[in-house]
A and B are shown apart, each in its own frame.
Chain A
């Protein structure tokens, strides 16, 4: 019936009235239907519970102490009685001050306001008042109507901020990436200043390869990027916003066996086409380089492509995408810490250029700035096949603080020659370009010569005592890199600093095998980080000294 429904609605519309009676208020009653320990005002406690208490956590419950007269509920525990019992008294508390509140005509002065319950009638008004990210405690009359002063301008633009999707003339700059599964999704926008690298799988078929858009270079450089972010995504308005075309920086062609060749004419557009059961000029990787100003405007965009061929049997290919942002007129140097190394970031390393030690600040500029992968400190990466000779070039960067161990197996037959094998193993262990210097701080600059630590190379032979040491040849079987680091700086914020790096190559004698037999030797490489920081010593302030000197003529005229 209607009246019951109205009554129910009326009940729902108002929040429950606040409890203001001091006799019924209890601050320490936290557990529902259970007795709280040492809470003398808890109504769930019985006389036996009170006899176990030691003290009353809440001795008195009062209202606002500024009032001239008010009721107070006083709880105390009478420990003299046996068993201890709780006493409850309701007394009148008087505030003797002449500025006590005698009466007030403003209800919210003494109690918190009950919030309005939203109903269909007042919902819009409540949403206007409280719906924004902030709302003012001042009455509405004090707020100026800011919307009326600045009407939104369709031509308004704002600079790109970190994480904001980079906009192109029709949509966003796409960076295909795997979503949920490994299949490529083209709906992933690239965020400004968010350097990303993604790999995903795309399903292809060689017959239709010139019609698949995602395999063609045009798909990635078609739309031009807007230099600033417009307020509204209306394509017709964008004529006024400056647009940046994506240029083709370089094209690398990858053959079916994985060999890559850089094309000299890097700015020619190559579209996929079917040739002899192969689909050539299919995009296997795109590397975007965006240059921006320090105020958040994009001024240049370039894309480096890796094109490859898809064979007829392939049903899917893996595409890799990368985007990096560089500020104009700067060289990008990803730091591994500022200033101390951060655990998990790669250890920066480099070479000394020829001509050192002639002092010149720019000499170390040839030191690789870790963006060049080939000059990082790297360690052999274990592969699934575990074959040392097949795993050419698979290297993992050494990350600060992470001890790593990896290895592979080498199969030796009788026909293997020792000397070339030793050289090959050294290449496998150390990599193509093993650096000579390691940065001692995460942000060491190439010009600061003293901030770089030389790598000490040691050679240890496994069999020290052997009469055949001199004559037989040694092959390296393990490389151990030990990085000693220390804590540097203040006690509360210590920075990691690399002090010493030692690369130890352990060699063993290659015993000649009888023909037909073969042996498997395990090859190991490891990186160990050791903390050699001495325990911190707090230093104390020196005792104040009293330094008194009498003036020269203090005893004048007696002296």
Chain B
């Protein structure tokens, strides 16, 4: 019964793909930071913030995706709203890794741009889903 289903299918698909892509993104970025620290001059007091940001983003991603799934499937706007808030934090961290990292490689630019676009699309879909649930 399509008309009574308020859950957003595109959002669900996007969240699922985002989860898989994020695992790949996390491993790739970690590997590149290790590569940069060996090949370039990477002092410890600049390496620590970059690693901290990456791990913080990973920690934020898990509840964010879980709340997104739960909110969309149960058609509840509170978890979805919380997930949207966490997305904002993830976007900030992603922008940091895109612009303010010590060394920004071309691969970094590609990965982060892709993640940012996924976040943007997700945020749009979440807003429409919340609007659908509330009304």
**Which residues of A are in contact with B by a Cβ distance under 8 Å?**
66, 68, 97-106, 108-109, 138-139, 142
Q: Which of B85-102 contact A (CB under 8 A)?
A: 99-102
The interface residues of chain B lying within 8 Å CB-to-CB of A105 are 100-102, 104
> Do B107 and A104 touch (CB < 8 A)?
no
> Do A98 and B44 touch (CB < 8 A)?
no
Chain B nearest CB, measured from A67 CB (Å): 10
Chain B nearest CB, measured from A94 CB (Å): 11
Chain A nearest CB, measured from B60 CB (Å): 23
> Do B102 and A102 touch (CB < 8 A)?
no
Instruction: Decide: A101 near B35, CB < 8 A? Known: A106-B46, A139-B44.
Output: no
> Do B45 and A139 touch (CB < 8 A)?
yes
The interface residues of chain B lying within 8 Å CB-to-CB of A101 are 40, 103-105
Cβ of B109 within 8 Å of any chain A Cβ, yes or no, is: yes
Chain B nearest CB, measured from A510 CB (Å): 89
Question: A66, A99, A106: which contacts B107 (Cβ < 8 A)?
Answer: A99
Cα–Cα, bound, A139→B104 (Å): 23
* B30-56 near A? 1/0 per residue, CB < 8 Å: 001001000011011110000000000
> Do A99 and B106 touch (CB < 8 A)?
yes
Q: Is the interface of A mostly helix, strand, loop or mixed?
A: loop
Question: A97, A109, A138, A142: which contacts B103 (Cβ < 8 A)?
Answer: A109
Cα–Cα, bound, A99→B105 (Å): 5
Q: A96: nearest residue on chain B (CB-CB)? A: B106
Cβ of B108 within 8 Å of any chain A Cβ, yes or no, is: yes
> Do B43 and A102 touch (CB < 8 A)?
no
Can you report 10 residue pairs joining A to B where beta carbons are below 8 Å apart?
A68-B106, A99-B32, A100-B106, A101-B40, A101-B105, A102-B106, A105-B102, A109-B41, A139-B43, A139-B45
Other CB < 8 Å A-B pairs besides A99-B32, A104-B104, A109-B41, 17 of them? Answer: A68-B106, A97-B106, A99-B105, A99-B107, A100-B106, A101-B103, A103-B104, A105-B100, A105-B101, A105-B102, A106-B41, A106-B102, A109-B40, A109-B103, A138-B44, A139-B43, A142-B44
The interface residues of chain A lying within 8 Å CB-to-CB of B43 are 106, 139
Cα–Cα, bound, A56→B104 (Å): 35
The interface residues of chain B lying within 8 Å CB-to-CB of A97 are 106
The interface residues of chain A lying within 8 Å CB-to-CB of B108 are 102
Q: B32: nearest residue on chain A (CB-CB)? A: A99
Cα–Cα, bound, A520→B107 (Å): 101
* B9-41 near A? 1/0 per residue, CB < 8 Å: 000000000000000000000001001000011
Q: A137: nearest residue on chain B (CB-CB)? A: B43
The interface residues of chain A lying within 8 Å CB-to-CB of B101 are 105
> Do B105 and A100 touch (CB < 8 A)?
yes
The interface residues of chain B lying within 8 Å CB-to-CB of A68 are 106
Question: A102, A108, A139, A142: which contacts B105 (Cβ < 8 A)?
Answer: A102
> Do B102 and A109 touch (CB < 8 A)?
yes
The interface residues of chain B lying within 8 Å CB-to-CB of A139 are 43-45
Q: B109: nearest residue on chain A (CB-CB)? A: A102
Chain A nearest CB, measured from B94 CB (Å): 15
**A-B complex: 4 closest residue pairs judged by Cβ atoms:** A103-B104, A106-B102, A102-B104, A98-B107
Cα–Cα, bound, A105→B104 (Å): 8
Chain A nearest CB, measured from B32 CB (Å): 7
The interface residues of chain A lying within 8 Å CB-to-CB of B109 are 102
The interface residues of chain B lying within 8 Å CB-to-CB of A100 are 105-106
> Do B35 and A104 touch (CB < 8 A)?
no
Chain B nearest CB, measured from A161 CB (Å): 37
The interface residues of chain A lying within 8 Å CB-to-CB of B32 are 99
Chain B nearest CB, measured from A223 CB (Å): 54
Chain A nearest CB, measured from B122 CB (Å): 25
Cα–Cα, bound, A108→B45 (Å): 14
Q: B108: nearest residue on chain A (CB-CB)? A: A102
The interface residues of chain B lying within 8 Å CB-to-CB of A104 are 102-104
> Do A98 and B106 touch (CB < 8 A)?
yes
Chain B nearest CB, measured from A261 CB (Å): 77
Which of A66, A68, A102: most chain B Cβ within 10 A?
A102
Chain B nearest CB, measured from A99 CB (Å): 5
Question: B35, B44, B103, B106: which contacts A106 (Cβ < 8 A)?
Answer: B103
Cα–Cα, bound, A104→B41 (Å): 12
Q: Which of B71-126 contact A (CB under 8 A)?
A: 99-110
Q: A138: nearest residue on chain B (CB-CB)? A: B44
Cα–Cα, bound, A92→B101 (Å): 25
Cα–Cα, bound, A139→B41 (Å): 13
Cα–Cα, bound, A103→B107 (Å): 12
Chain B nearest CB, measured from A192 CB (Å): 44
Cα–Cα, bound, A109→B42 (Å): 8
Q: A142: nearest residue on chain B (CB-CB)? A: B44
Q: A100: nearest residue on chain B (CB-CB)? A: B106
Chain B nearest CB, measured from A215 CB (Å): 68
Cα–Cα, bound, A496→B40 (Å): 53
Cα–Cα, bound, A66→B40 (Å): 10
Cα–Cα, bound, A317→B99 (Å): 86
Cα–Cα, bound, A106→B101 (Å): 9
Cα–Cα, bound, A102→B46 (Å): 18
The interface residues of chain A lying within 8 Å CB-to-CB of B41 are 106, 108-109
Chain B nearest CB, measured from A112 CB (Å): 11
Cα–Cα, bound, A109→B103 (Å): 9
Q: B100: nearest residue on chain A (CB-CB)? A: A105
Cα–Cα, bound, A507→B35 (Å): 88
Chain A nearest CB, measured from B84 CB (Å): 30
The interface residues of chain A lying within 8 Å CB-to-CB of B35 are 99
Chain A nearest CB, measured from B17 CB (Å): 22
Chain B nearest CB, measured from A96 CB (Å): 10
The interface residues of chain A lying within 8 Å CB-to-CB of B107 are 98-99
Cα–Cα, bound, A101→B41 (Å): 13
Chain A nearest CB, measured from B30 CB (Å): 15
The interface residues of chain B lying within 8 Å CB-to-CB of A142 are 44
Cα–Cα, bound, A68→B108 (Å): 12
